[in-house]
Every structure is written in C-alpha cells, then in structure tokens.
Structure 1
Amino acid sequence: MLVDSHCHLDFADFDAERDEIVARANAAGVGVMVTISTRVAKFDQVKAIADRYPCVYCSVGTHPHSAGEEMDVTTADLVRLAADDKVVAIGEAGLDYFYDKAPREAQAMGLRRHIAAARETGLPLVIHSRDADEDMAAILREEMGKGAFPALLHCFSSGRDLALTGIELGLYVSFSGILTFKRSEDLRAIAAELPADRLLVETDAPYLAPQPWRGKRNEPAYVAHTNKVLAEARGVDEAEMARQTTENFFRLFSKVPKVELA
C-alpha cells in the first residue's frame, strides 16, 4: 500500500473526473490521500471532498502565497477547524521566497500561527519552503525551542542543510515527482542520506508530475512512480520502500485510522 501525503483534489483541474481520479489511485495501490488546504476561506470545499471519499483526509491552513490575504486567521481558528474527524494536519504554511506573492513578514507570522496550532493539536504541520532555507531553519529552531510540534517538509526541493536541520528537530521529509526529474541528482543524493523512518512520498497533484508524465497534469496514482525512484536512490526494494513510507505516514499522521488496501 502507498499513501499520497499531499495532493489538492479540490483544484479545478480535477472537477470533471474526481471520482475517476480517486479510483485510479486506489487501483494503483494508493490507499489514503490527504488533500491539502491552501486557503482557510475555502476550507469547506476541501473538507467536502474529504467527506465524500472514505480514503481521503484533509488539512486546514493557509499557503504562504495567500498569507497576506488571511492575516485574520488565528491559531484558535485553526485549532477549532482541526477538531473535525477528517482533518488530520495543519497547513500547508511556510515561506516562499521564489514567488514572493505575500509579504515575507506575513508569511512568517502565518507560519508561526500554524506552528502554534500544530503544537496545540498534536497534528503534523505541512511545511512549504522554497528558496527560504536559512529563514525556515531559524524559525523552526526558535519555535521548537518553545515546545515540540510534529511537522514535515513537504515537496522537498531545498538544500541538504535544511533537510538535516529538519531531521535534527524531529521533522519528516516528503518527496514529490521532482525527485524523478533528470536533473535532480542532488535531491536523490539527499533522499539517499536521510533516515528511512523519516521519509514520505507525495504528488502535490495536479502539479509536478513525475517522469514520464512531466509537464502533464499530475494525479495521486503517480505517487507509485516517485516511490519507485526513491527506492532506487536508496538501493532498496520498491515494496520495502512503500512499506516504510506508509508506516512513516501513519506514525506522523496519527489521526488517520490505519487501513489495509483490499
């Protein structure tokens, strides 16, 4: 069994065939999917999809791109919404200095509010970090000093130092289709170095389809190929990698009931 720990099933890219997308994922061995919130203002849409499919769960949070538009979202708001049975994570929140779509101060403030919600609820924080390694590491170190919280660096494409900082602080690291790209040798080397019990796989669908679908719409079924490349990078059997990443998922996303794929 595999888990897609991060996808966006609420996005319009899937409107025409959402049932088929979920069915294809199940047929590919993907037993659980987590559809990730990017706007608290649109949380009801995300939750409706999670409610519709027994194998789909969701998060609640504000993507750093929208941090400036949701400055009024408090830690208490996140904690309240996270009480729903289908909400199994906080986020995604973080820092994105590549696009800089929101003021950096707003991104940092939003990240800290989400960290506080993860600390209070015990739910894992899904961290988005792009071109912000030093600031992200500094915030994580500072906040972890205030009290531990579960978290993962999602769609990891940053440098080795941030990966090792995350591991040192008790975080998990999730790899997407980027891991399969021809020029991702450095990323595969990082993936090979990290502890096996901290690794997850994801799609970030509809974005970042792995080879050989690169440039096309991604979907949760394709997480199997990312798992395959991760196994190759680490020199282990593909089935063993699937077992390990799935075991890691249920340890981190402890609110998700453990299931066996029929």
Structure 2
Amino acid sequence: MMLMDTHVHLNAEQYETDLSEVIQRALDANVQKMIVVGFDRPTITKAMELVEQYEFLYAAIGWHPVDAIDCTDEDLQWIEELTAHPKVVAIGETGLDYHWDKSPKEIQQEVFRKQIALAKRVKLPIVIHNRDATDDCVRILMEEHAEEVGGVMHSFSGSVETAKICIEKLNFIISLGGPVTFKNAKMPKKVAAEIPLQYLMLETDAPYLTPHPFRGKRNEPSHIPLIAQEIASLKEITVEEVAKVTTENAHRLFYKIK
C-alpha cells in the first residue's frame, strides 16, 4: 500500500533536530512520496535543498497570501526560474487569507493573480490556500482561467457545494488532512463521504493540523494513514482503495512526479 503526503512543511523549523527520523517514520508508514511546500524565500530555498537530498521528495513553490505585501516581481521571477527544476511539481501555496490582516486584500488578490498567470506560463498545477475568502478565491480562479492547469484546494474546509464547483468548473482536486479525523469536523467529513474518491487527495500540512488521536502534538507525514483510514470509514471502503486512488490522483495532477 503506497501513500503520498501531497502537502507537508518538512522545511519548517519544527523539524530541525530530527528531520531524518521524521522522514524514516513516514517511509515506515508507507508514505513513499511527499511534496514539500515553500511559500517565501527561506522556505522555498530549504524545500529545494531537501528535494536534492531525498529522491522521494518533491517541491511546490509559491508565495503565501499572508505575506503577499512582501512579494516582489523579482521574487516571482525567481520562482518561475526554479520551476525548470524537474522536481518542482506545482505553484503554491498561493491564494487568499482574510483571517490575518498583514497584507491588504487587494494586494493579496494581485499577487494571487500573478501566480495563476505564472502557473499557466510554466504549465504547472496550483496549490490553493484559502482562509475566510472562498467567494473571492473561486471567483479569481475562474476569472484567470485556472482550469487550464488545474490544481488542489489544500486542506479543504468548505462545503460539498463549493468542492463540486472547484471540481467541475476549475478542474481542481480536493485535499483533506487531519481535520477530517476531528470528532466535531462536520464539513470535512461530509466532503469525504460525498465527493467521489477520484477527486480526493491526502495531506498532513505537517507540522500543523495533527489528526486525532495525536491532536495538540506536532504533526508529521507518518500520520497520513490515519487520514486515509477515516476517509475509508466514511466511504465504507477499504483503506487500500483510498491509498490506491488518492495516490493515482496525485500522480495525475502532479504529472512531474516519477
């Protein structure tokens, strides 16, 4: 049974002292490929170092909406140049985050649009971060014709109706993580149960969003089986089928992964 963690921050400072052990635990749990997400200069640089070091790691690189105010055209040019690397498989995470007020909404939207255009130029899928901004996020993706490259709604917490719009109109996949295992997480459970498996992927967003029963502790990619098992239970299918189909979905979207 092969699993993939399609969104993990192994480049985070939380792993500085024991990264090799974290990676080994993931491999022991059949998490055989992982996409490390970089979202600013330091995290992108670290992600690129990691993909050179480990053959089963890949990178998604972009600029986080919270820090959009710090993003320059030079930063985006640098990201575009890095996409020539064979292990850079996506643009992002990018999107909109209206929860924090560091970057004004109009600046977030401008940087978001620029990254969608970048993704279309380099023909890579987009990894979307959306917090408290669903209507604007979906509208901008449609206006910029993001369906031409497709992408993933990372750590999706929206409704079944929104998920269907993203799938049908934007050519996107829905990614579920630790929150689907939370007892009070009605929306992710409903999405996991009702959205067809061929439109779902697995992620941890580690070191964040740790699944039950480890909630409150540092997350890591070895917890992917817990997410797969919860989705299997909600769909009343085997965890092996969840692993097989979600991994196939990830390979189809992130076509550069070998």
- TM-score per shorter chain, which class? over 0.9
Tell me the matched-pair count: 256
Deviation at 1:79, TM superposition (A): 2.2
Output the amino acid matched with 1:153: M
Work out the CA distance in 1 between the residues paired with 2:74 and 2:108: 12
Work out the CA distance in 1 between the residues paired with 2:86 and 2:175: 23
Could you list the runs of 5+ residues in structure 1 that have no partner in the other structure? 258-262
Work out the CA distance in 1 between the residues paired with 2:181 and 2:219: 13
Deviation at 1:116, TM superposition (A): 1.2
Is residue 2:237 matched to residue 1:223? no
Is residue 2:30 matched to residue 1:29? yes
- Quote the residue 1:260 is aligned against: none
After superposition, residues 72-221 of structure 1 pair within 5 angstroms as 72-73=73-74, 75-144=76-145, 148-168=148-168, 169-221=170-222
Pick closer, same or farther for the CA change 1:130–1:189 going to 2, 3 Å: same
Output the amino acid matched with 2:107: A
Q: Please, what TM-score do these two structures have when normalized by structure 1?
A: 0.93
Q: Please, what TM-score do these two structures have when normalized by structure 2?
A: 0.95
Mean CA deviation greater in 54-63 or 20-29: 54-63
Is residue 2:4 matched to residue 1:3? yes
**For each residue in 1:164-218, what CA deviation from the matched residue of structure 2 results, as whole angstroms up to 9, or x when unmatched?**
2101121001001011111112221122221221110000000000000001000
Residues 90 and 118 of structure 1 are in contact (CA less than 8 Å); yes or no, is this contact kept in structure 2? yes
Query: What is the CA RMSD across the aligned residues, in angstroms?
Result: 1.5
Mean CA deviation greater in 238-247 or 72-81: 72-81
Residues 160 and 190 of structure 2 are in contact (CA less than 8 Å); yes or no, is this contact kept in structure 1? no
**For each residue in 1:85-127, what CA deviation from the matched residue of structure 2 results, as whole angstroms up to 9, or x when unmatched?**
2211111000111223311112111111111122122211100
Residues 61 and 91 of structure 1 are in contact (CA less than 8 Å); yes or no, is this contact kept in structure 2? yes
**For each residue in 1:117-153, what CA deviation from the matched residue of structure 2 results, as whole angstroms up to 9, or x when unmatched?**
22122211100011111111111111127x7122110
**For each residue in 1:40-76, what CA deviation from the matched residue of structure 2 results, as whole angstroms up to 9, or x when unmatched?**
3542221101211111111111111111111334654
Residues 97 and 133 of structure 2 are in contact (CA less than 8 Å); yes or no, is this contact kept in structure 1? yes
Residues 12 and 43 of structure 2 are in contact (CA less than 8 Å); yes or no, is this contact kept in structure 1? no
- Quote the residue 1:38 is aligned against: 39
